[in-house]
Structures are given as C-alpha cells and as structure tokens.
Amino acid sequence: MQSQSTRTGDASILASIAAGKLTARPETETPSTATKSGLQALGIGREQDTLLYVPKTYAHETPAPLLVMLHGAGGDARGFISLFPSVADEYGMLVLAISSNEATWDIISAGGFGADIERLNLALGAVFAQYAVDPNQIALAGFSDGASYALSVGITNGGLFSAIIAFAPGFVAPGRAEGEPRIFIAHGTLDVVLPIDQTSRVIAPQLTDAGYEVAYVEFEGTHSLPPDIVDRAIAWWLGGV
C-alpha cells in the first residue's frame, strides 16, 4: 500500500501537470557527467521522441544557453532539430526537441495540459541533471501548433523560460501566468494555414497590452520557417538585437 505522503506527492505532481506547470530546474551545482557533442537521444518515450543537440564548444565548466523546440502538427523532434545544429554551434547553445504524444500538442489534441507537459518536464530534468545550463538563458520556441504551445507553456512557466520564440502561432492559451518572459513572434504575410490577420496580428498586440516585451516580425512568405528568420530570432534572444 502507498503511504499517504506518496499519494499526496503524486496528487501534487498531477495537479502541476494539469496546470501546465514544469517543476524541473537547472542544477545548482555544475554537473560533472561525461558528455559528448552532437545529436543524441535522451531515451524518454520512443527512441526519437526526445533529442538533444550538444554544440561542439560545450564544456561543463561553463553553463550554456538552452533552446527548447516544439514542432508543428504532424511533425516530430528529429525533423525540427535538424534545422538548428549550425546555429547551435555558432552560439554555443544546447538544443532540446521533443515530440508530442499525439499528432499535435495536448492542449490542442486533449483540450488541456497533460502527457506533453509530463514528457517535457522529464526531458528538461534529464538535461539539467547531465549538462550545465545557464538558468537565465532558457528559451522555449515552436512553429505553428508548436508556437501556440510555446506561448501557452512559456507564459505559464515564465519563472523558468526567460524568452519565448513563436514562429507562426495560431493562438495563446496559458494557465496561470508566471514571470515576465520576453517574446519574439514571426509570421509570414502569405500564410494561408494560419492567416496572419487572424493570428499574430491579434496575438502580438494582446501580449503587449498585457505588459510583455514583444518583438514582432512579419516577412513575405508562407507557413514556413525561413533560416534568416531563425537566425534573427536567436540573435534577438542571445545577442540582444
């Protein structure tokens, strides 16, 4: 039989997941686990569900920025993380990508936070346990449905994520807001999947009015993720431009 304390703990964890709250945090002491650079699977979920790219310059003595990536509907971690090795090496940042449990993220597929928050929390915990992460430079980013999820989860967990990067989001539906993360939104003016007039041109002013610092970029393009827009977002986050 489970103890009352265990049952209470389980209930607390379940409540956090339902509220969209992440409990994983960077280690206060520098992890000394032996590491290697390049792409590696973290072994959470199916083999390719949680992937981490470690830059060539990573050294555990120096905490690195961490970018967490969320794919669009029908995508997966591997397809998304393949866009980032060169920029990761350029900026010396760790890049974590996870796959949603279903075809898209739980807040959309299940109508609320659940399995994907749990997987994200486990993946973050695994990264924090093995790698030195700068607690002031953790960003959550996503494309399309992943961008909507990044805005929703990031605003709910603003004490963990100092920045949110949303490429072509459709909506924002956070739980209880926390902290004041900076926000970058980019959207193509020719997007017919998530038309800009009904999405980012509404979302960006709403977030600005709510008191968030928002950098908003429109580009002439479709529902896509151009490399120059990715570079601009990362430079905004880490370079202050």
The mean pLDDT of 22-41, rounded to a whole number, is 83
pLDDT band at 27 (very low <50, low <70, confident <90, very high): confident
Fill in the DSSP letter of residue 198.
Answer: G
The domain in which residue 106 lies consists of: 4-24+36-239
Task: Tell whether 115 is covered by a domain.
Answer: yes
Place of tokens 């800009």: 196
Express each pLDDT in 201-236 by its tens digit.
Answer: 999 999 999 999 999 999 999 999 999 999 999 999
CATH number at residue 73: 3.40.50.1820
The pLDDT value given to residue 1: 31
- Give the whole-angstrom CA distance, residue 116 versus residue 95: 18
pLDDT band at 6 (very low <50, low <70, confident <90, very high): very low
Task: Tell whether 207 is covered by a domain.
Answer: yes
Contacts of 154 (CB under 8 A, 6+ apart): 140, 161, 164, 174, 181, 183
Measured in whole angstroms, the distance separating CA 91 from the mean position of its chain's CA atoms is 17
The number of distinct structural domains making up the chain is 1
- Give the whole-angstrom CA distance, residue 226 versus residue 172: 22
Task: Tell whether 108 is covered by a domain.
Answer: yes
Task: Tell whether 30 is covered by a domain.
Answer: no
The pLDDT value given to residue 48: 76
pLDDT band at 83 (very low <50, low <70, confident <90, very high): confident
- Give the whole-angstrom CA distance, residue 220 versus residue 132: 38
114 and 106 in contact (C-beta within 8 Å)? Answer: yes
Task: Tell whether 119 is covered by a domain.
Answer: yes
User: Cβ–Cβ contacts within 10 Å for residue 144, how many?
Assistant: 25
Nearest to 214 by CA among 163, 158, 148: 163
The pLDDT value given to residue 241: 62
3-state DSSP assignment of residue 98: strand
230 and 166 in contact (C-beta within 8 Å)? Answer: no
pLDDT band at 8 (very low <50, low <70, confident <90, very high): very low
The pLDDT value given to residue 79: 86
Listing DSSP states for 100-143 in one string gives -SSSS-HHHHTSSS-HHHHHHHHHHHHHHHHS-EEEEEEEEEEE
Task: Tell whether 29 is covered by a domain.
Answer: no
Task: Tell whether 188 is covered by a domain.
Answer: yes
pLDDT band at 10 (very low <50, low <70, confident <90, very high): low
202 and 181 in contact (C-beta within 8 Å)? Answer: no
* Assigned token pair, 42: 């973290």
154 and 131 in contact (C-beta within 8 Å)? Answer: no
The pLDDT value given to residue 34: 61
Q: Which residues pair with 182 in a beta bridge?
A: 163
The pLDDT value given to residue 82: 82
